[in-house]
Amino acid sequence: MAEHGSIFEAMLQEFDGAARLLKLEPGIWKILTHPKRQIIVSCPVQMDNGDIEVFTGYRVQYNITLGPAKGGIRYHPDVSLDEVTALAAWMTWKCAVAHIPFGGAKGGIVCDPTRMSKRELEALTRRYVAEIIDAIGPEKDVPAPDVNTNDQIMAWVMDTYSMHVGHTSTAVVTGKPLELGGSLGRREATGRGVMIVTREAARHLGFDIKGAAIAIQGFGNVGSVSADLLARLGAKIVAVTDWKGGTYNAQGLDLGRLLDHAREHATVDGFPGGEPLTNEQLFALEVDVLIPAALENQITMDNAPAVRAKVVTEGANGPTTPDAHKLLHERGIFVIPDILANSGGVTTSYFEWVQDRYGYFWEEDEVNTRLEKKMCEAFDDVLQTSLKYKVDLRTSAYIVAISRVGTVTKMRGMYA
């Protein structure tokens, strides 16, 4: 990642382009380009072999103007303060584009969860939560899953926080198991949102999603659910790559069998229903839609000239570098930016938080219907703004977000 420079700098470049068009006041500009709070903690954990390891954890609350800070926690060896700060800023703009009453935050721990036992992961999670306990809470900051974290980890977050405050607090975290106050539809929500905006883009551009060829990088929670739901609309998922390898079938991969294979082997690599495929080959495929649903900095100046998709739907956060994005846009590729495309997850996190606070839970249909409405509204807001300002969708999504957060910042006024 280092060869592409600071991720926070990339976020600032995107921000500046939109702020200039909006003629944003310099004071508001300064406020919105500084993180409100950055917390760094050391988390000692006794490993299974008896040794003590100390893990570095971060929680960044970028902006809390619209409501409690909101955003996931990721476990990855490459986590850094720069990355977590950029991701927390993106959460701020994402919640604003989704029009939900949250600010933006992100957490991360530098670790390799694939080499840790369940007991070690539990100990690390609980210690991390204890270290940031004063900063989180249903009205302060509400974590959620992200890269390499899941509902079990959120259950430990909920339990640790509840033990500290002395009562069960379900609304402190989202993406929990259903039994603990989770929401129906939350696990699938990011992928469902990706499916909805891809379908809307196809409608806008005038091609049929039924029969459209789709290539997906990443087969985790976002990539696999997007693939499944788009296949249900009749799209052909022709290629998938993941951390280990990839698979390609021009006739369309058999999703049911691919999901079984991935469950059994923890990778799509070696799938008997397709030919092997690298990431480089995936990005260069002549498809209708390309969905990067893995990590940051995947579409760069090295591979952007080779991209031949009509639409790029950013399932991941920050998968395209600013230069590469400019090139894709100039080449007429319709990029649905991350802060819109993957906002289905946090939108349904909002629904989960609302249900927890009410103590009243909705049927899955109600969750999905509300998500459908929110995603279509957000897509339309961003599309109309892009037509009005004659800009790409990323710039227009920032325009929507900065206007909303900026207006409230101004109305609330300055303290002291």
In the numeric block, which tokens belong to residue 81? Answer: 């303060």
Task: Residue 146: name the closest of 154, 135, 138 by CA.
Answer: 154
Query: Considering only residues 176, 345, 378, 401, which one is a binding residue for ligand GLU as defined by CB under 6 A?
Result: 345
At closest approach, how far in Å is the CB of 272 from ligand GLU?
Answer: 33
Q: Which is nearer to ligand GLU, 216 or 258 (CB)?
A: 216
Tell me which H or E stretch contains 213: strand 213-217
Compute the distance between CA of residue 86 and CA of residue 104 in angstroms, rounded to an integer: 10
Compute the distance between CA of residue 183 and CA of residue 175 in angstroms, rounded to an integer: 7
| Contact status: 317 vs ligand GLU (CB under 6 A) | yes
Q: Give the largest CA-CA distance in the chain.
A: 65
Q: What strands lie across the sheet with 213-217, from one edge to the other?
A: 275-276, 246-248, 236-241, 213-217, 289-292, 311-313, 334-336
Q: Which residue sits closest to ligand GLU, CB atoms considered?
A: 72
At closest approach, how far in Å is the CB of 278 from ligand GLU?
Answer: 26
Q: What strands lie across the sheet with 104-110, from one edge to the other?
A: 37-46, 52-63, 104-110, 69-76, 141-145
Helix then strand count (H, E) for the chain reads 14, 12
At closest approach, how far in Å is the CB of 21 from ligand GLU?
Answer: 25
Q: Which is nearer to ligand GLU, 268 or 346 (CB)?
A: 346
Compute the distance between CA of residue 200 and CA of residue 206 in angstroms, rounded to an integer: 10
The footprint of ligand GLU on residues 195-254 (CB under 6 A) is none
| Contact status: 125 vs ligand GLU (CB under 6 A) | no
Query: Considering only residues 83, 146, 200, 228, which one is a binding residue for ligand GLU as defined by CB under 6 A?
Result: 146
At closest approach, how far in Å is the CB of 271 from ligand GLU?
Answer: 27
| Contact status: 313 vs ligand GLU (CB under 6 A) | no
Radius of gyration of the chain (CA): 20
As beta bridge partners, residue 217 has: 241, 292
At closest approach, how far in Å is the CB of 95 from ligand GLU?
Answer: 8
Query: Considering only residues 174, 247, 385, 396, which one is a binding residue for ligand GLU as defined by CB under 6 A?
Result: 174
The stretch among 262-270, 272-280, 292-300, 339-347 that binds ligand GLU (CB under 6 A) is 339-347
At closest approach, how far in Å is the CB of 369 from ligand GLU?
Answer: 19
Query: Considering only residues 336, 346, 371, 402, which one is a binding residue for ligand GLU as defined by CB under 6 A?
Result: 346
| Contact status: 144 vs ligand GLU (CB under 6 A) | yes
Compute the distance between CA of residue 98 and CA of residue 102 in angstroms, rounded to an integer: 10
The stretch among 22-30, 267-275, 343-351, 366-374 that binds ligand GLU (CB under 6 A) is 343-351
At closest approach, how far in Å is the CB of 7 from ligand GLU?
Answer: 14
Q: Which is nearer to ligand GLU, 70 or 329 (CB)?
A: 70
| Contact status: 344 vs ligand GLU (CB under 6 A) | no
Compute the distance between CA of residue 171 and CA of residue 138 in angstroms, rounded to an integer: 5
| Contact status: 122 vs ligand GLU (CB under 6 A) | no
Q: Which is nearer to ligand GLU, 91 or 383 (CB)?
A: 91
| Contact status: 349 vs ligand GLU (CB under 6 A) | yes
In the numeric block, which tokens belong to residue 172? Answer: 């402190």
What are the CA-CA distances from residue 319 to residues 87, 307, 316, 336 (Å)? Answer: 12, 14, 6, 11
Q: How far is CA 151 from the centre of its chain?
A: 16
Contact 10, 318 (CB under 8 A): yes
The footprint of ligand GLU on residues 55-94 (CB under 6 A) is 70-72, 94
Q: Which is nearer to ligand GLU, 85 or 247 (CB)?
A: 85
At closest approach, how far in Å is the CB of 352 from ligand GLU?
Answer: 8
What is the DSSP secondary structure assignment for residue 272, as one 8-state letter?
T
The stretch among 154-162, 295-303, 342-350, 385-393 that binds ligand GLU (CB under 6 A) is 342-350
Q: Which is nearer to ligand GLU, 174 or 226 (CB)?
A: 174
Strands 289-292 and 311-313: parallel
Compute the distance between CA of residue 280 and CA of residue 303 in angstroms, rounded to an integer: 7
| Contact status: 104 vs ligand GLU (CB under 6 A) | no
Return the number of other C-beta atoms located less than 10 Å from residue 150's C-beta: 17
Question: Which positions are catalytic?
Answer: 106
Compute the distance between CA of residue 395 and CA of residue 411 in angstroms, rounded to an integer: 24
Q: Which is nearer to ligand GLU, 252 or 337 (CB)?
A: 337
Q: Where on the chain is the footprint of ligand GLU (CB under 6 A)?
A: 70-72, 94, 144, 146, 174, 317, 342, 345-346, 349
